[in-house]
Chains A and B, each alone.
Chain A
Amino acid sequence: MSDAKMNGTAAARPNPRPNLSQQWIRRRYAAERRFRLYGLLAVAAAIAMLAVLLVSIVGRGYSAFYQTQVSLDVFLDPAEIAADGRTDADTLMGANYMALVRESLRGIFPEVTGRTERRDLNRLISNSAGDVVRTAVMDDPSLIGQTIRLTFPLDDKIGMLHKGFIDRNLPESERVVSDREIAWYDRLVSEGLVSTGLNWNFLSKGDSREPEQAGILGAFMGSMFTMLVTIVLALPLGVMSAIYLEEFAPKNRVTELIEVNINNLAAVPSIVFGLLGLAVLLGVFGMPRSAPLVGGVVLSLMTLPTVIIATRAALKAVPPSIREAAYGVGASPLQVVLHHVLPLATPGIMTGAIIGLARALGESAPLLMIGMVAFIVDVPGAVTDPATVLPVQIYLWADSPERAFIEKTSAGIMVLLAFLITMNAIAIFVRRRFERRW
């Protein structure tokens, strides 16, 4: 069929009129309404899931922020604390304060005499009670010889009973607390000695095998130091590599290869970076095990590709007219980048950094490989101290059998979320400051 003939007939016939019928228009609007409905449903589903998640975490975790305490009158027996009348720090440090607490407890329950019975009675109170007395005495040695009222955390099982997580109506064999312990607890309650208070231990201590003594601060500081190392390494390195690759590097086979590899690295499973850290950082360079320094290096390797890709995209998005304007007045290539391109790209760079760091903060697999899964009681004070991080801590607690660790696990997730939100808020604040129209 010849083109000329087709064109000829098509040109001769006028184009059909648009369909202006009500039915046609209704169909178009119906399609739009349907699309909006789907969108609303998707958003509603997402919000509902988020709400379920938050409610279940907060509902389970909030109780970890307060603890069950008992107040006892403790006689600070000079014979027990400083037998030979010395009150130097060493003597005060080494005294058996737990015995004083037990003595006081026995005063409330004089009928308990049997050896096993007494041992069980002593277990009502957390074995950190001695530390409470020690702190009081060391702060003010003149208290020795007096009777003072001190508040001690109760054991985690009694705490669970107090918070209502243990059902009294179950047969004794299916409960973690015995009938006898419940009776003792009830007597303490009836004498008005049991109270609840803010759980400062949780926010100010490191991990412990005893749930009532376990705190999140160790993991929090571990995460903080790890993130610090990650930011300090990944952000400048990533941004500078991206600027070089995007603005200065010649476009040839080598840079193309580098680009492909960076894109591939962004998709490498995180545990591979952990193995790399184990083999190279610990194996070859002999860096300390379980240290936030190593964790930070591993996570920054993992974050680098994300930062580089996001930064390059942000640099590419800067309008070429701005570059031309700067070149036109005689700016050098570096001046063009530093004075004009980088400020305009900063919001995009920050977005990339947020995504990368949020992923790094929630990462646990690579850190397991370099030993950050160890049980560490001390709160780390430097990047070389052994530490664990929040996600690993949550994993450790979730793995622990005690009932009281359930609330700790959820509370740990709350702290992790708070950390994440704070970090993002800072990044969004920085992004806002640089956001400009052009």
Chain B
Amino acid sequence: MNAISPAMSKMSGRKVTVHYGQKQALFDVNLEIPERMVTALIGPSGCRKSTFLRCLNRMNDVIDGCRVGGEIVLDGQDIYDASLDVVMLRARIGMVFQKPNPFPKSIYDNVAYGPRIHGMGATKAELDEIVESSLTRAGLWNEVKDRLDQPGTGLSGGQQQRLCIARAIAVSPEVILMDEPCSALDPIATAKIEELIDELRENFTIVIVTHSMQQAARVSQKTAFFHLGYLIEWGDTEQIFTSPKDERTQGYITGRFG
């Protein structure tokens, strides 16, 4: 495995386990997520890659009977520590979901909601600026600048997903988690999102779950392969796709199963 110096690591999981009730879903995952890079989590359906992703911002807390073991560290601090406030954590780690899920509010309010609840942008002008810069960075500003007061749910699927990305980056998170952000989109909208992810890498650490190996190869620098709740192999994307060490990885990326 390819070694990353601890200084570069933004988040890391150490012996992470997840139980749903009595059933164990995730087994001893050790993974480093390097700063300002895109880490792709790949694997066949039901391999628990999304489960691992949702551990990173404690979204699993909402699910009844879900227990997370081991340690997940963000900048040297355990995020499951009792002293850490989960609301503050989610302000630092944004999330984009599989299905675009804008709030049934105006485009402006969708983006401004996060900044408002976190006390950013005291004046209307400051808030306007946050909204404009977030929509610009999400590549949506030119398409929606004349209709910010219209409902976000009225946009097309690809636009909605970019709105969700704008909503996530509006609170200036350090890490953005993306759970199959393109699975509900057509190829053109997908290409736009992938382009956007590549741009966002300059400022954010990104973890993306994807079903598409081509997508993982296109957008990520690091790739982790999950199978049946185990992290089988992780490393540089190039290395995983050209010379995987484990034969299960080899089998998956060459399409023999999954």
0/1 interface trace, chain B 113-156, chain A, CB 8 Å (1 if under) = 11001100000000000000000000000000000000101000
B90 at the interface (CB under 8 A from A): yes
Interchain nearest-CB distance for A190 vs B (Å): 72
Query: CB distance A335 to B117 under 8 Å?
Result: yes
List B contacts of A339 (CB < 8 A). 113, 117
Which B residue's beta carbon lies closest to that of A328? B95
Q: What is the CA–CA distance of A437 and B101 in the complex, to the nearest angstrom?
A: 12
Interchain nearest-CB distance for A228 vs B (Å): 32
Query: CB distance A437 to B62 under 8 Å?
Result: no
0/1 interface trace, chain A 337-376, chain B, CB 8 Å (1 if under) = 0011000100000000000000000000000000000000
Interchain nearest-CB distance for A329 vs B (Å): 4
Query: CB distance A329 to B97 under 8 Å?
Result: no
Query: CB distance B59 to A327 under 8 Å?
Result: yes
Q: Which of A322, A329, A332 has the most CB of B within 10 A?
A: A329
A326 at the interface (CB under 8 A from B): yes
B104 at the interface (CB under 8 A from A): yes
Query: CB distance B97 to A328 under 8 Å?
Result: yes
The interface-forming segment of B70-78, B163-171, B215-223, B229-237 is: B163-171
Q: What is the CA–CA distance of A436 and B94 in the complex, to the nearest angstrom?
A: 26
List B contacts of A251 (CB < 8 A). 64
Q: What is the CA–CA distance of A217 and B89 in the complex, to the nearest angstrom?
A: 60
B57 at the interface (CB under 8 A from A): yes
Contact of A329 among B64, B99, B104, B113 (CB under 8 A): B113
Q: What is the CA–CA distance of A328 and B164 in the complex, to the nearest angstrom?
A: 10
Query: CB distance B103 to A325 under 8 Å?
Result: yes
List A contacts of B118 (CB < 8 A). 330
Which A residue's beta carbon lies closest to that of B100? A321
List B contacts of A331 (CB < 8 A). 87, 113, 117
List B contacts of A437 (CB < 8 A). 104, 151, 153
Which A residue's beta carbon lies closest to that of B54? A324
Given contacts A340-B103, A437-B153, contact A328 B90 (CB under 8 A): yes
B91 at the interface (CB under 8 A from A): yes
Q: What is the CA–CA distance of A438 and B114 in the complex, to the nearest angstrom?
A: 19
List B contacts of A344 (CB < 8 A). 104
Q: What is the CA–CA distance of A331 and B170 in the complex, to the nearest angstrom?
A: 14
List A contacts of B168 (CB < 8 A). 328-329
Which A residue's beta carbon lies closest to that of B170? A329
Q: What is the CA–CA distance of A329 and B112 in the complex, to the nearest angstrom?
A: 11
Number of interface residues of B (CB under 8 A): 29
Contacts across chains A and B counted by CB atoms under 8 Å: 69
B88 at the interface (CB under 8 A from A): yes
Which A residue's beta carbon lies closest to that of B62? A327
- Considering only residues 85-136 of chain A, those with a C-beta below 8 Å from chain B are none
List A contacts of B113 (CB < 8 A). 326, 329, 331, 339
Interchain nearest-CB distance for B173 vs A (Å): 9
List B contacts of A340 (CB < 8 A). 103
Q: What is the CA–CA distance of A438 and B117 in the complex, to the nearest angstrom?
A: 22
Given contacts A324-B59, A436-B104, contact A329 B153 (CB under 8 A): no
A205 at the interface (CB under 8 A from B): no
List B contacts of A431 (CB < 8 A). none
Interchain nearest-CB distance for B133 vs A (Å): 16
List B contacts of A325 (CB < 8 A). 97, 101-103, 164, 167
Given contacts A251-B64, A437-B153, A438-B153, contact A329 B101 (CB under 8 A): no
Query: CB distance A321 to B91 under 8 Å?
Result: no
Q: What is the CA–CA distance of A339 and B151 in the complex, to the nearest angstrom?
A: 16
Q: What is the CA–CA distance of A329 and B103 in the complex, to the nearest angstrom?
A: 11
Interchain nearest-CB distance for A192 vs B (Å): 68
A60 at the interface (CB under 8 A from B): no
List B contacts of A332 (CB < 8 A). 87, 117
Query: CB distance A322 to B101 under 8 Å?
Result: yes
Given contacts A321-B101, A324-B97, contact A329 B62 (CB under 8 A): no
Query: CB distance B164 to A330 under 8 Å?
Result: no
Q: What is the CA–CA distance of A247 and B52 in the complex, to the nearest angstrom?
A: 25
List B contacts of A328 (CB < 8 A). 57, 59, 90, 94-97, 168
Q: Which of A327, A328, A344, A436 has the most CB of B within 10 A?
A: A328
Interchain nearest-CB distance for A250 vs B (Å): 9
List B contacts of A335 (CB < 8 A). 117
Query: CB distance B103 to A330 under 8 Å?
Result: no
Q: What is the CA–CA distance of A239 and B101 in the complex, to the nearest angstrom?
A: 26
Query: CB distance A330 to B90 under 8 Å?
Result: yes
Q: What is the CA–CA distance of A111 and B118 in the complex, to the nearest angstrom?
A: 94
Interchain nearest-CB distance for A314 vs B (Å): 15
List A contacts of B90 (CB < 8 A). 327-330
Q: What is the CA–CA distance of A325 and B117 in the complex, to the nearest angstrom?
A: 14
**Residues of A participating in the B interface, judged by any CB pair closer than 8 Å:** 251, 319, 321-332, 335, 339-340, 344, 436-438
29 sample A-B contacts, Cβ–Cβ < 8 Å, listed by A number = A319-B101, A321-B99, A322-B101, A322-B104, A323-B62, A324-B59, A324-B95, A325-B101, A325-B164, A325-B167, A326-B113, A327-B59, A328-B57, A328-B168, A329-B94, A329-B113, A329-B117, A330-B87, A330-B88, A330-B90, A330-B91, A330-B117, A332-B87, A340-B103, A344-B104, A436-B104, A437-B151, A437-B153, A438-B104
10 A-B pairs besides A325-B101, A329-B117, A330-B114 with CB distance below 8 A are A319-B101, A322-B101, A324-B95, A328-B94, A329-B94, A329-B170, A330-B89, A330-B117, A330-B171, A437-B153
- Which are the 10 A-B pairs with shortest beta-carbon distances? A329-B114, A330-B91, A328-B95, A321-B101, A330-B90, A438-B104, A325-B101, A436-B104, A332-B87, A330-B87
